[in-house]
Structure 1
Amino acid sequence: MTQVIATLAEVSARYDAVFCDLWGCLHNGVAPFPAAVAALQAYRAQGGRVILLTNAPRPKSSVIAQLDKMGVPRDAWDDVVTSGDAAQYAMLTGAVGRKVYFIGADKDEPFFTDFADDLAEIAAANPVIERVALTQAQGIVCTGLADDLTETLETYHATLLAAKTLGLPMLCANPDLTVHWGDQLLYCAGALAQSYEAMGGTALYFGKPHPPIYDLARRRLALLGGPSDPQILCIGDGINTDVQGASGEGLDALFITGGLAVDHFGPDPQAPDMALLQAWLDKAQLSPSFSIGKLR
Structure 2
Amino acid sequence: MPFFPEPLTGLQKACLKQLSITLHADTICLWLNFFCLTSDPLKIQYQQKESNTTVLCKKKNFQAFMEDTDFVTVLQEDLTIILEESEPELQELHIGFQESEEQIDRVFASIEDLLKPRKDKLKVKNINLEIRNSEQLTSVLQYLDSENLKTVDLKLKGIVDLRNLLELDAWKEKNGLEMNVALDTFLVMDLEALKENLIQQPTFDTVTIYYDRIHQDAFESLHHNHQPLGISHYPHSHKISFSRVHLISPNVIQQAIPYPSTSNSVSGVIGNYVIIRNILKYVGGVDM
- TM-score, structure 1 as length reference: 0.28
Compare the two structures and name the one with the higher strand fraction: 2
**Which structure's CA Rg is the greater one?**
2
